[in-house]
Amino acid sequence: MADDVVIRPMTELDLEGITRIDERITRQYRPDVWERRVGYYLRRDADSSQVADVGGKVAGFMMGEVRGGEFGLDEPTGWIEFFGVDPDVRGRDLGRKLIDALLAHFRAQGAHIARTMVATRDEDIAGFLKAMQFTPAPLTALEKRL
Amino acid sequence: MADHQSQLPRQYHEAVMHWQRHNFPDYPKLPEQWDTYFPKDEAFCLCARIQQNMPEHIEVGDRKGQPKAVAPRELDPKAAEELLAIIRAQASTEFGSIQQHQATLARASDPQDQAWVLRVMAEELRHGYQMIHLLTSADWSPVTDTKPQDMVEEILSMKTGSHVLAAFNLEYDSFVDNIVFAAFIDRVGKYQLTMQKVNAYQPMASSMPPMLREEAFHLAAGVIPMRRWAEAAVKSDALITMPVLQKVVNKWFGRGLEMFGDERGGKTNVRLGLKDKTNRVAQDEYIAECDKMLDDINQRYVRARFPRLSRDEADALYARVKADRGAIDGLSWDDDLLKLPHASFFRRRGESAFQMIGFDGGTFTDVDAYIAHVRDHLPEAYVASVDVKHWAELQRGVARGTVPLEKALSSMPRLARVGGACPCANSVRWVVDVEVSPNGGLGGQETRLSP
């Protein structure tokens, strides 16, 4: 069944599939949130964000782009910002395939480093990123409740 | 992935800007709105963009494997001739869509939707600029006697009603047209640009990726508002209802199909290495994609209408209603949901032109009944247009044998204002290069823009 996986750039027609995956993971139906995000990434760089298409249905997505100058980090950085895989198709290596495609695009855009942030409670995501050879950065995420 | 940016020679650049002032007066609003709606995005650049590191060998057709042409004279003469026609038609669509959008841009009910369409229009202007770059940066004399400045003038003097393709000769009736056009007609544009990525003429192939990246946003600028409107259509006080959207879909879908060319054609372009799909193959893929788009929009409607249903329950309800073409729990396929018309419905070009096929695919034998059927499926304002009147007259003539099909296929209504536009729109040859004095003035001369 691995043959029916296609990794390709995200399009506006993936919106419903992405919303469905998010709903399965978070139990929240948030079409307006994903419309805003998909619209943002498509207009910024339509070739960047990727989806995993399994048998014609969106089974995973990963959104990100190359930016520079964030947090004083001037070098072009590939930022990985949103991703999700349908719980029904986990274990098929979709996350690795998505990240490989996204990192390849980042490299082609001139980035030599990829960065992301993960909530400490998200052990699954942290484990996945570690397996993808992401290491703790010499940066500290800080926050203050307002 | 980098692209190389350049400006047209001054006379052509100025001619495009002159065209913009007359046809796209809202263009100066784009930089004013940019930081509000597109914060941090790279500023818009009216320039030609050529993608670097593209394949250097022909990818399809009889000359597959040979080096791509970097000048028209290196192409097969027939390929150069076909390519020139493609570029001129493409340019016509880019400038034509701006003229259409401009007429109803101010009627948008949502400022974000309006800003998105404004950006779409600016990027279409850049696409037209790109086509003029292709026409003026190479020597086309082996395939045409027309001078570059005359080709550019011809393109810039077209108005709604005199463009190459019918989809660009229809006037918009409301801002709903701006959105549905972006979802359906820009989607055809995406197909054409994607097919031309393999083009045997290197500058053409290299023009496609930057245009495609922009086109992806144009499709989002159509689909996302349609999704929001579908959700809002559930409310009893909705202004844009599903039947309203359906009629606008019916107005554009057939014109979109016709942009692929006759279903039986396209083999020559593949053989010549200009595109990688025949018309029918591309059109079938487009139909499937439009069907998926409407499924997504309908599912958004169903979720809003039945908020207590789970995702799986709502999906199952929609699937059953679509499969049965029926009504379940008050959700009606006919009355509530968006559908693609049959591919042969209301067609004026291609293999099913003037065949009197109904919305659902049924065949009519009585021409007046067919015209009434089509009328009932189109927006009221459009039905009152010269375009529909012209079609109805042709349809009657073809059905009664008084108008030969061949004549009907090439007939286009002439809108009243064609030819009545600003005479200086035809301005390429009138833009005169003048010496600029060291202090930046024009050396005592004005740039002349009149004959």
Closest-approach residue (CA) in chain A for B220 = A12
| DSSP type of residue A1 | -
Which of helix, strand or coil describes residue B290?
Answer: helix
Phi and psi angles of residue B384, each rounded to the nearest 5 degrees, phi first: -80, 0
DSSP secondary structure string for all residues of B122-133: HHHHHHHHHHHH
Task: Give the lowest-confidence range in A7-11, A120-124, B289-293, B321-325.
Answer: A120-124
Which of B41, B119, B293 lies nearest to residue A13, judging by beta carbons? Answer: B293
Closest-approach residue (CA) in chain B for A28 = B311
Check A23 against B311: CB less than 8 A apart. Answer: yes
Instruction: Inform me whether the C-beta atom of residue B324 falls under 8 Å from chain A C-beta atoms.
Output: no
Percent of chain B at pLDDT above 70? 91
CA distance B330 to B230: 17
Q: In this structure, are B241 and B371 located in the same domain?
A: no
Query: Is B314 inside a domain boundary?
Result: no
Which of B217, B227, B295 lies nearest to residue A43, judging by beta carbons? Answer: B217
Q: In this structure, are B354 and B294 located in the same domain?
A: no
CA distance B111 to B296: 24
Give Cα B165 distance to the centre of its chain.
Answer: 9
Which H or E run contains B4?
strand B3-6
* Tokens at B277, concatenated: 């799909």
Phi and psi angles of residue B12, each rounded to the nearest 5 degrees, phi first: -75, -40
Q: Quick check: B132 pLDDT over 50?
A: yes
Phi and psi angles of residue B403, each rounded to the nearest 5 degrees, phi first: -120, 120
Cβ under 8 Å to B: A residues 1-40: 11-13, 15-16, 20, 23-24, 29, 31-32, 35, 38-39
Average pLDDT on B331-342 reads 98
Q: Quick check: B419 pLDDT over 90?
A: no
Which H or E run contains A7?
strand A5-9
Question: In a 10 Å sphere around its CB, with 0-12 CB exposed, 13-18 middle and 19+ buried, how is residue B219 labelled?
Answer: buried
Q: Quick check: B154 pLDDT over 60?
A: yes
Q: In this structure, are B108 and B231 located in the same domain?
A: yes
Average pLDDT on B368-381 reads 98
- A132 closest CA partner among A92, A89, A103: A103
Instruction: Inform me whether the C-beta atom of residue A141 falls under 8 Å from chain B C-beta atoms.
Output: no
Q: A54 near A5, Cβ under 8 Å? A: yes
Check A15 against B228: CB less than 8 A apart. Answer: no
Q: A19 near A58, Cβ under 8 Å? A: no
Instruction: Inform me whether the C-beta atom of residue B41 falls under 8 Å from chain A C-beta atoms.
Output: yes
CA B43 vs CA B33, B79, B212: distances in Å: 11, 36, 18
Percent of chain B at pLDDT above 90? 88
- B131 closest CA partner among B110, B152, B160, B115: B152
Q: Where are the domains of chain A?
A: 2-131
Structure confidence at residue A73 as a pLDDT band (50, 70, 90): confident
Which of helix, strand or coil describes residue A53?
Answer: strand
CA distance B100 to B119: 14
Average pLDDT on A76-88 reads 95
Q: Quick check: B444 pLDDT over 50?
A: no
Closest-approach residue (CA) in chain A for B214 = A43
pLDDT tens-digit map of B165-188: 889 999 999 999 999 999 999 999
* Tokens at B415, concatenated: 């809108």
DSSP tally for chain A: helices H, then strands E? 4, 5
Instruction: Inform me whether the C-beta atom of residue B231 falls under 8 Å from chain A C-beta atoms.
Output: yes
Q: Quick check: B282 pLDDT over 90?
A: yes
- Looking at beta carbons, which residues of chain B come within 8 Å of A105? 1
Q: In this structure, are B272 and B411 located in the same domain?
A: no
pLDDT tens-digit map of B215-233: 999 999 999 999 999 999 9
Q: In this structure, are B207 and B97 located in the same domain?
A: yes
Closest-approach residue (CA) in chain B for A10 = B216
What's the pLDDT at A120?
86
Check B303 against A31: CB less than 8 A apart. Answer: yes
What's the pLDDT at B127?
98
Question: Structural domain of residue B144, as residue ranges?
Answer: 3-299
Q: Does domain A2-131 have CATH number 2.102.10.10?
A: no
- B356 closest CA partner among B339, B374, B338, B341: B374
Check A43 against B38: CB less than 8 A apart. Answer: yes
CB atoms within 10 A of CB B272: 23
Query: Is B309 inside a domain boundary?
Result: no
Strands annotated E in B125-227: none
Q: Quick check: A6 pLDDT over 70?
A: yes
Query: Is B304 inside a domain boundary?
Result: no
pLDDT top residue among B188 and A71? B188
Q: B117 near B105, Cβ under 8 Å? A: yes
Instruction: Inform me whether the C-beta atom of residue B296 falls under 8 Å from chain A C-beta atoms.
Output: yes
Count of the separate structural domains present in chain B? 2
Q: Quick check: B428 pLDDT over 80?
A: no
Look up the CATH number of the domain holding residue B227.
1.10.620.20
Which H or E run contains B332?
strand B331-332
Query: Is B392 inside a domain boundary?
Result: yes
Query: Is B357 inside a domain boundary?
Result: yes
Cβ under 8 Å to A: B residues 251-290: 289
B317: amino acid identity, one letter: L
Q: How far is B2 from chain A (nearest CA, A)?
A: 7
Residues 6+ apart with CB under 8 A from A145: none
Instruction: Inform me whether the C-beta atom of residue A44 falls under 8 Å from chain B C-beta atoms.
Output: yes
- Looking at beta carbons, which residues of chain A come within 8 Å of B219? 11-12
Query: Is B335 inside a domain boundary?
Result: no
Query: Is B133 inside a domain boundary?
Result: yes
Q: How far is B278 from chain A (nearest CA, A)?
A: 23
Q: B253 near B290, Cβ under 8 Å? A: yes
Structure confidence at residue B446 as a pLDDT band (50, 70, 90): very low
Average pLDDT on B1-25 reads 93
Q: Which of B264, B299, B334 is the last residue of a domain?
A: B299
**Average pLDDT across chain B, whole number:** 92
CA distance B175 to B150: 34
Q: In this structure, are B42 and B130 located in the same domain?
A: yes
What's the pLDDT at B66?
97
pTM score: 0.92
What's the pLDDT at B290?
98
DSSP secondary structure string for all residues of A63-116: EEEEE--BTTB-S-EEEEEEEEE-GGGTTSSHHHHHHHHHHHHHHHTT-SEEE-
Query: Is B169 inside a domain boundary?
Result: yes
Q: Quick check: B337 pLDDT over 90?
A: yes
What's the pLDDT at A3?
65
